[in-house]
Structure 1
């Protein structure tokens, strides 16, 4: 089974680009957690959507993969995740969208080769 965790982040206008860069770097460190399947976690941004208005102001996105719902819950509850979000995101966010889903059995083969890969 693979659980996909997606989050989009929108910061308040006064948040500096330096703060956002630090946030992204700290988020990327979460890929080292054992509850991240194959250590596959990517953070992207700023948005290159054209026209940019379609991004609705969201600047960054995170995509991570987990072996089970329990692993996603472990990721969410980890002290590392709590530190990054409470230090760099929640006090500065304007909005956040989270969407998690289970990969269907017919698509699971696309995620299997990545289980032991570390990028």
Structure 2
């Protein structure tokens, strides 16, 4: 079963916009890891939720797909993931929420289309 990995990020108020942009740029590079299924990793933000209060202060989000729980564990343990989180996230975060869940093969394509499904 495919594992969907969702993370919401809230930075401290003193963190610059340029730092947040660099964080997003570095996160996007993780899509090329072999443990990310078909490069299915997207990062978005800042939040455009209206009213903004519904975002509860979370500014950015990551959504990625992994073949199984082992692939997600490999992603979390990778040197690249460690570099991005230790340099750009942990020293600057106010809060982080992580939520992972499994979907069967049929539901998988409904969540985030692959590049081939989008004609890319």
Judge same fold: TM > 0.5, yes or no. Answer: yes
Q: Deviations over 1:28-85 (max 9, x none)?
A: 0000000000011000000000000000000000000000100000000000000000
Shift of residue 105, structure 1, vs aligned partner: 5.2
Structure 2 matches for 1:56-67, cutoff 5 A?
56-67=56-67
In structure 1, list runs of 5 or more residues that go unmatched. Answer: none
Pick which of 10-19 and 97-106 moved more.
97-106
* Residue of structure 2 equivalent to 1:33: 33
- Give structure 1 regions of 4+ aligned residues with deviation exceeding 6 angstroms: none
Q: Deviations over 1:80-101 (max 9, x none)?
A: 0000000000000000000000
Q: Closer, same or farther in 2 for the Cα pair 1:109/1:57, shift >3 Å?
A: closer
Q: Closer, same or farther in 2 for the Cα pair 1:29/1:106, shift >3 Å?
A: closer
1:101 aligns with 2:101: yes
How far apart in 2 are the matches of 1:99 and 1:11? 18
Checking the alignment, whether the CA contact within 8 Å between 1:38 and 1:116 is kept in structure 2 is no
TM-score by length of structure 2 reads 0.90
The residue matched to 2:99 in structure 1 has which SS? Answer: strand
Checking the alignment, whether the CA contact within 8 Å between 1:35 and 1:74 is kept in structure 2 is yes
The residue matched to 2:29 in structure 1 has which SS? Answer: helix
Task: Report how many aligned residue pairs link the two structures.
Answer: 117
How far apart in 2 are the matches of 1:51 and 1:38? 34
In structure 2, list runs of 5 or more residues that go unmatched. Answer: none
The residue matched to 2:71 in structure 1 has which SS? Answer: helix
The residue matched to 2:73 in structure 1 has which SS? Answer: helix
How far apart in 2 are the matches of 1:109 and 1:59? 26
RMSD (Å) for aligned C-alpha atoms: 1.9
